[in-house]
């Protein structure tokens, strides 16, 4: 029974939930992947319920007795648990695909999936658009950078990144920092070349991109899969903080700057990549 766990080895409560969610095979075993997903989801739900019932908005513990959820709410939680177990294996699925695979009503999946929706893609989101539209904010910042570089080149030529930084600090030009410019254009020399400004150096330093957009999406995929987080943008840097002791992980700001778009755009792009691993 490679990669499967006998129900007899599990706690009775876990075995009961596994049976209710139809995760048990005919030989009374459950896959290790389903078991991990079940345990992780249950632990996270307990944390969320504990936080909502025992802590106020100021973070102080509130003295109230946790109330048992209604039968409808418990049924939704059970359905969400089953859907989450499926989505861990098939991230980027649509609601209709989940309903078909798990033989559940579309309306039931729709209601329950609100609790695990960060791993879902809509039918429209599954296919990448033929042309990617840059966000207005990034387009405006690019224009500011072009204007600042052209203005700086009238004062210093060729224009090095050190000279540009000095002009910024002295208030003689107004524009994005060197770090921001290289995030937007890929490198200092690429930014200067785009606006026809001669550059005295290529900025082979810590300002250069350390990650490509694809590299960054790998980190986003890892975050979306993590059982302790629910895929929200404000949780990304919380997840990052748990990783920094062992490796270097880009910040949400870096991800936004290089990948571009809203957090939903970034999440969607990551889920498309995850979906491609099983849908091809």
Complete DSSP assignment for 94-125: -HHHHHHHHT--HHHHHHHGGGSGGGB--TTT
Dihedral angle sign, alpha carbons of residues 265, 268, 273, 274:
positive
Structure-token match 């524009």, residue found: 175
pLDDT band at 14 (very low <50, low <70, confident <90, very high): low
d(CA 267, CA 139): 21
Dihedral angle sign, alpha carbons of residues 137, 142, 146, 148:
positive
Of the CA atoms within 13 Å of residue 25, those in its CB half-sphere come to 12
Task: Check residue 42 and give its pLDDT.
Answer: 59
Biggest CA–CA distance in the chain, Å, is 78
Mean pLDDT, residues 107-135 taken together: 79
Task: Check residue 60 and give its pLDDT.
Answer: 39
Task: Check residue 129 and give its pLDDT.
Answer: 65
Task: Check residue 48 and give its pLDDT.
Answer: 55
**CA triple 235-236-238, angle to 5 deg:** 65
In this predicted structure, the answer to whether residue 250 has a pLDDT above a threshold of 60 is yes
**Closest-CA residue to 173 (of 151, 140, 195, 198):** 151
pLDDT band at 205 (very low <50, low <70, confident <90, very high): very low
What does pLDDT average to over the chain? Answer: 79
In this predicted structure, the answer to whether residue 30 has a pLDDT above a threshold of 90 is no
d(CA 250, CA 138): 19
Say what the pTM is.
0.57
**Domain 4-54+66-119: which CATH class?**
mainly alpha
| Of 27-36, 120-129, 160-169, 223-232, minimum mean pLDDT range | 27-36
| Of 56-70, 140-154, 218-232, 251-265, minimum mean pLDDT range | 56-70
In this predicted structure, the answer to whether residue 177 has a pLDDT above a threshold of 70 is yes
Measured in whole angstroms, the distance separating CA 43 from the mean position of its chain's CA atoms is 20
Six token digits for residue 37: 């997903």
d(CA 157, CA 173): 14
Mean pLDDT, residues 220-242 taken together: 93
Task: Check residue 98 and give its pLDDT.
Answer: 92
Task: Identify which of 9-13, 182-186, 268-272 has the greatest average pLDDT.
Answer: 268-272
Task: Check residue 61 and give its pLDDT.
Answer: 37
Mean pLDDT, residues 220-249 taken together: 92
61, β-bridge pairs = 55
Mean pLDDT, residues 195-220 taken together: 74
The fraction of the chain above a pLDDT of 90, given in percent, is 33
pLDDT tens-digit readout, 34-85: 776 666 665 555 455 545 544 433 443 333 344 455 777 788 888 888 998 8
d(CA 218, CA 150): 36
**Closest-CA residue to 189 (of 215, 208, 213, 163):** 208
Structure-token match 């209601």, residue found: 111
């Amino acid at each position: 029974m490679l990669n499967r766990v006998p129900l007899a080895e599990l706690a009775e409560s876990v075995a009961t939930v596994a049976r209710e969610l139809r995760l048990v095979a005919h030989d009374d075993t459950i896959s290790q992947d389903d078991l991990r997903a079940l345990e992780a989801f249950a632990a996270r739900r307990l944390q969320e319920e504990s936080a909502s019932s025992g802590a106020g908005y100021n973070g102080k513990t509130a003295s109230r007795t946790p109330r048992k959820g209604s039968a409808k709410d418990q049924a939704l939680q059970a359905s969400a648990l089953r859907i989450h177990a499926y989505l861990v294996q098939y991230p980027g699925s649509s609601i209709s695909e989940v309903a078909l695979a798990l033989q559940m009503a579309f309306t039931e999946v729709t209601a329950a999936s609100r609790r695990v929706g960060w791993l879902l893609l809509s039918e429209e989101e599954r296919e990448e658009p033929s042309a990617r539209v840059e966000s207005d904010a990034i387009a405006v910042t690019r224009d500011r950078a072009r204007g600042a570089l052209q203005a700086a080149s009238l004062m210093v030529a060729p224009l090095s990144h050190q000279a540009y930084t000095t002009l910024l600090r002295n208030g003689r030009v107004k524009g994005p920092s060197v770090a921001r410019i290289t995030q937007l254009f890929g490198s200092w020399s690429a930014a200067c070349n785009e606006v026809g400004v001669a550059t005295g150096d290529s900025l082979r330093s810590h300002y250069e991109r350390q990650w490509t957009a694809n590299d960054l999406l790998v980190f986003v995929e890892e975050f979306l899969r993590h059982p302790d987080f629910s895929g929200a943008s404000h949780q990304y840097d919380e997840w990052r903080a748990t990783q920094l002791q062992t490796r270097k992980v880009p910040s949400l700001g870096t991800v936004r700057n290089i990948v571009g778009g809203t957090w939903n755009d970034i999440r969607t792009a990551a889920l498309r990549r995850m979906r491609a691993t099983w849908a091809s």
